[in-house]
C-alpha cells in the first residue's frame, strides 16, 4: 500500500511548545493513514478503527492543550472559546463517522478528509499559534490583556495574509492528493505522478513561506528567485512582472527571470503604451488569465508584433488584482519550444499570482511606514530643543542630537538606560518625580531646571515640558 501525505507536515506549523507540536505531528500521521485507507477502500471495520483512533487521540491532545492554556491563561474568555472550538470539531468528526453506512464512501471520504485537513491546518496556524503567542507573552511578564494584544500583533498584517495563502494551498493539496492516490491505486503512471506531486507540494510550501518575516530589502531579490523557481517548475523559459501606470498610460516590465541561453527583455519592455495592451488589460481587469498556446496563430497586430521578436512560442499571464483594481500581471513564456500549459500548471501559477499581490501589498505598506519613520526621525533631530521619549519605567526609547549633548552619549548608548546611568542621583530623582506627576495626572507638566551638559560641562536653565503619550489601548 503506497502512502502519500494528504497533509504534508512543515516546520512552519510549529507553535514553539514542544509537547503540542509533537502531538500535532501525531494527529497529522493518523490523518494521512486514514486517507490512505480510504483510497485503498479498506473495510468499514478497518475505517472504524482508524476513525476511533483519530477521535481518541484528538480528545487526548485537546486535554493536553487545555491543561497548558489553563495553567497559563486561566479562565479567560479566549480559553473558553478555544475549548468550544475543540468540542465542535469532535462533534463534526463523530457525525461524519456515523454517516459511513448511509453515504457513498468516495463522497463521504472527500468531504471528511477535506474538512479534517483544512480544519487542522487552520487550527494550528491560527488558533493554536495565537494561544502559544499569549503563553510566551505571559512568560515574558506581560499581563493577560497585553499578552493577547501581543499575540494579535504577531498574527496580523502580512503574516495573516500569507497564512491565508498557505491555508488555500493546503485545501487544494488535499483534493489533488486524494485524486492522485486513486490513480496510484489503479497503477496509472504513478511513479511520475508521485514525483510531480512531491515537487508541486514542496514548491508551494517553499514559496508561500519564503516571504514570511522577510526584511523589506530582500523582497525584490526573493521575488526574482521565486519567478525562476516557478518558471522552471512549469517548463517556462522566462518569467516576468509588469506594472500598469494608469497616470502615464504605460506599462513596464519591473521584474524578470530568464533561463540560461534566453535573452533578457526587461530593458526593452519599458513604458509600453497601455493602448497596445488594451485587450489584455480588459481580460485582466475581469480577474481572468490569458493563455496563448501558439503565438504564431495570433492575428497580425501590436501584440503579435511585441511577442514574435522575443521568440515567444507560448505564454500564460495572470492579473495582479489589488482592491478590485488590476495593478499589473505576471507572465510565463516558452521560448525554446512550444509548451501546452496544463490545468494543474495554470492552477499553480494562479496561486503564485495571489501570493505576489499579497507580497506587493506588504512591501508597499512597509515602504510607507519606513518613509514616515524616516521623516519623523529627521524632524525630531532638526529640533534645536532637547527631545526624548521614555517608557513608564523611565527607560529611554529615543532622543535627538541635542539631547545627546546633554548626556554626552550617542542615542544608541542612551536607549535602554535611565537617568541614573548618566547624571547625579539627586537630579535623576528630580526628573523621576516630575515623570511620575505627568503619568499620574495624565496632563502636561512644565518646570524649570538648571542642568549641566556632559558634552562640555556648561550649564543651562531649561524650560521643560513633559507630556504623557498613550498607545492605542
pTM higher than the cut 0.75: no
- Spatial distance between the Cα atoms of 271 and 273, rounded to a whole number of angstroms: 6
Cα 461 to its chain centre, rounded Å, is: 52
- Spatial distance between the Cα atoms of 260 and 298, rounded to a whole number of angstroms: 27
- Which has more pLDDT, 309 or 194? 309
Establish how many alpha carbons lie within 13 A of residue 148's alpha carbon, considering only the half-sphere containing its beta carbon: 9
Percent of the chain with pLDDT over 70: 85
Of 130-139, 192-201, 360-369, 413-422, the range with the highest mean pLDDT is 413-422
- Spatial distance between the Cα atoms of 54 and 26, rounded to a whole number of angstroms: 10
Which residues 6+ apart lie within 8 Å of 357 measured at CB?
320, 321, 322, 327
pLDDT digits (tens, 9 = 90+) for 190-241: 455 556 667 767 777 777 777 666 677 788 888 899 889 888 888 899 999 9
DSSP, res 237: S
> What per-residue confidence (pLDDT) applies to 195?
66
Least confident range from 32-41, 127-136, 344-353: namely: 32-41
Amino acid at each position: 500500500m503506497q502512502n502519500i501525505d494528504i497533509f504534508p507536515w512543515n516546520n512552519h506549523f510549529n507553535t514553539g511548545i514542544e509537547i503540542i507540536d509533537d502531538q500535532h505531528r501525531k494527529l497529522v500521521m493518523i490523518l494521512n493513514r486514514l486517507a490512505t485507507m480510504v483510497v485503498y477502500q479498506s473495510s468499514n471495520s478497518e475505517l472504524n478503527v482508524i476513525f476511533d483512533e483519530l477521535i481518541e487521540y484528538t480528545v487526548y491532545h485537546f486535554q493536553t492543550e487545555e491543561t497548558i492554556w489553563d495553567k497559563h491563561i486561566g479562565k479567560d474568555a479566549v480559553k473558553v472559546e478555544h475549548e468550544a472550538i475543540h468540542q465542535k470539531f469532535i462533534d463534526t468528526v463523530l457525525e461524519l463517522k456515523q454517516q459511513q453506512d448511509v453515504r457513498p464512501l468516495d463522497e463521504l471520504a472527500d468531504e471528511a478528509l477535506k474538512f479534517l485537513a483544512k480544519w487542522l491546518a487552520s487550527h494550528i496556524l491560527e488558533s493554536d499559534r495565537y494561544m502559544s503567542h499569549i503563553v510566551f507573552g505571559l512568560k515574558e511578564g506581560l499581563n493577560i490583556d497585553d499578552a493577547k494584544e501581543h499575540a494579535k500583533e504577531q498574527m496580523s498584517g502580512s503574516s495573516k495574509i500569507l497564512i491565508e495563502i498557505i491555508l488555500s494551498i493546503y485545501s487544494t493539496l488535499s483534493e489533488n492528493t486524494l485524486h492522485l492516490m486513486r490513480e496510484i491505486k489503479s497503477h496509472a503512471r504513478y511513479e511520475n505522478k508521485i514525483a510531480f506531486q512531491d515537487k508541486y507540494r514542496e514548491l508551494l510550501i517553499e514559496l508561500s513561506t519564503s516571504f514570511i518575516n522577510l526584511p523589506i530589502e530582500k523582497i525584490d531579490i526573493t521575488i526574482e528567485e521565486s519567478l525562476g523557481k516557478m518558471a522552471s517548475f512549469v517548463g517556462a523559459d522566462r518569467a516576468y512582472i509588469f506594472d500598469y501606470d494608469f497616470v502615464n498610460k504605460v506599462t513596464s516590465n519591473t521584474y524578470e527571470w530568464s533561463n540560461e541561453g534566453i535573452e533578457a527583455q526587461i530593458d526593452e519592455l519599458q513604458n509600453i503604451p497601455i493602448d497596445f495592451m488594451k485587450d489584455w488589460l480588459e481580460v485582466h481587469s475581469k480577474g481572468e488569465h490569458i493563455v496563448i498556446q501558439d503565438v504564431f496563430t495570433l492575428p497580425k497586430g501590436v501584440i503579435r508584433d511585441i511577442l514574435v521578436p522575443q521568440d515567444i512560442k507560448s505564454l500564460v499571464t495572470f492579473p495582479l488584482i489589488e482592491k478590485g483594481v488590476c495593478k499589473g500581471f505576471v507572465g510565463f513564456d516558452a521560448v525554446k519550444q512550444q509548451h501546452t500549459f496544463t490545468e494543474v500548471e495554470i492552477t499553480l501559477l494562479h496561486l503564485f499570482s495571489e501570493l505576489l499581490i499579497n507580497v506587493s501589498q506588504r512591501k508597499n505598506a512597509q515602504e510607507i511606514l519606513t518613509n514616515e519613520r524616516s521623516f519623523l526621525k529627521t524632524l525630531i533631530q532638526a529640533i534645536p530643543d532637547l527631545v526624548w521619549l521614555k517608557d513608564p519605567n523611565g527607560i529611554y526609547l529615543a532622543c535627538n542630537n541635542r539631547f545627546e549633548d546633554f548626556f554626552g552619549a550617542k542615542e544608541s548608548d542612551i536607549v535602554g538606560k535611565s537617568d541614573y546611568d548618566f547624571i547625579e542621583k539627586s537630579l535623576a530623582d528630580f526628573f523621576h518625580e516630575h515623570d511620575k506627576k505627568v503619568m499620574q495626572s495624565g496632563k502636561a507638566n512644565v518646570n524649570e531646571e538648571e542642568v549641566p551638559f556632559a558634552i562640555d560641562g556648561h550649564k543651562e536653565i531649561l524650560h521643560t515640558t513633559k507630556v504623557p503619550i498613550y498607545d492605542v489601548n
